[in-house]
């Protein structure tokens, strides 16, 4: 096991940091005593300690000295100040993992004196319910060991894939922003059900479960979405009538353009702040 016998330190115990800690504990991959969490909010630390039985502290330097894997789960605008605190304490035997959106590998590496392996990850909010989609890119000093460690952490809260760093903006446009597109789709499907007479709560439950079930079939059946779609369509049937409307309204093209627009915006923001 890539995480066996290792201590994982999370700097930042907010929504995503807390979700990662909870995922690691519930998966059994890391015992609670091997997870350290630091945060400026003492109440947040108390809650994590009580609920997950993890170790908590308010000193980032102590965490950096003890952990084998240091995970930055803080907002992008405080990454530099955190690195100024812990950078000189990090060692090449450790792995530094950052989930700070837009903060490049080169920015992270330039603010660490030693050749510490650095990994950059783009997770998404469904990590909070154990169904995240995360992509990670390795820095110049990172290797297979660091990739395995990162994959083990983020697969505890969903699925994790490795990509080149230049593709992380595309990941942001697809899976990072994607939940919002899907929420809009679920809302629209439910609204359609309400328009056709279904009670609101019933329509919403059916719409959400339909999206969940369809996604699970894509992930487990090994078939292309187009093939799965064709299995639902019968000649002259209800689904064919509905799909015609979606094609006429340009839904497919709109989703493609949404991913493109979010990718380009992510690229702009990253270049403006962290290059």
Mean pLDDT of each 10-residue bin along the chain, 275 residues long: 91 94 92 95 94 94 96 95 95 96 93 95 94 97 97 95 97 96 98 98 98 96 96 96 97 97 91 68
Sign of CA dihedral 55, 61, 65, 70: positive
Per-residue model confidence (pLDDT) at position 208: 98
Q: Transcribe 4-62 into DSSP letters.
A: TT--EEEE--SHHHHHHHHHHHHHTSS-GGGEEEE-S-HHHHHHHHHHH--EEES-HHH
Per-residue model confidence (pLDDT) at position 274: 65
Per-residue model confidence (pLDDT) at position 166: 95
Per-residue model confidence (pLDDT) at position 2: 82
CB 154 within 8 A of CB 8: no
The CA-atom distances, in angstroms, between 57 and each of 8, 33, 168, 218 are 13, 13, 31, 42
């Amino acid at each position: 096991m890539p995480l066996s016998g290792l201590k994982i330190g999370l700097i930042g115990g907010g929504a995503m940091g807390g979700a990662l800690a909870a995922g690691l504990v519930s998966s059994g991959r890391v015992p609670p005593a091997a997870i350290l969490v630091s945060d400026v909010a003492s109440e947040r630390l108390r809650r994590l300690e009580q609920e997950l039985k993890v170790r908590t502290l308010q000193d980032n330097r102590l965490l950096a000295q003890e952990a084998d894997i240091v995970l930055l789960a803080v907002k992008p605008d405080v990454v530099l100040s955190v690195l100024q605190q812990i950078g000189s304490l990090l060692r090449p035997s450790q792995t530094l993992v950052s989930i700070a959106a837009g903060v490049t590998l080169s920015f992270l590496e330039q603010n660490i004196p030693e050749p510490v392996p650095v990994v950059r990850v783009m997770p998404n909010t469904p990590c909070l319910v154990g169904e995240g989609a995360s992509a990670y890119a390795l820095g110049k000093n990172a290797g297979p060991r660091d990739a395995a460690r990162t994959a083990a952490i983020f697969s505890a809260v969903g699925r994790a894939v490795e990509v080149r760093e230049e593709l992380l903006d595309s990941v942001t446009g697809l899976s990072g922003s994607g939940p919002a597109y899907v929420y809009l789709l679920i809302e629209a499907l439910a609204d359609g059900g309400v328009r056709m007479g279904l009670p609101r709560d019933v329509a919403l439950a059916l719409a959400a479960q339909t999206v969940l079930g369809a996604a699970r079939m894509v992930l487990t059946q090994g078939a292309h979405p187009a093939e799965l779609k064709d299995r639902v369509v019968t000649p002259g049937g209800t689904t064919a009538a509905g799909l015609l409307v979606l094609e006429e309204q340009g839904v497919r093209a709109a989703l493609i353009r949404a991913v493109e627009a979010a990718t380009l915006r992510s690229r702009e923001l990253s270049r403006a702040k962290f290059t």
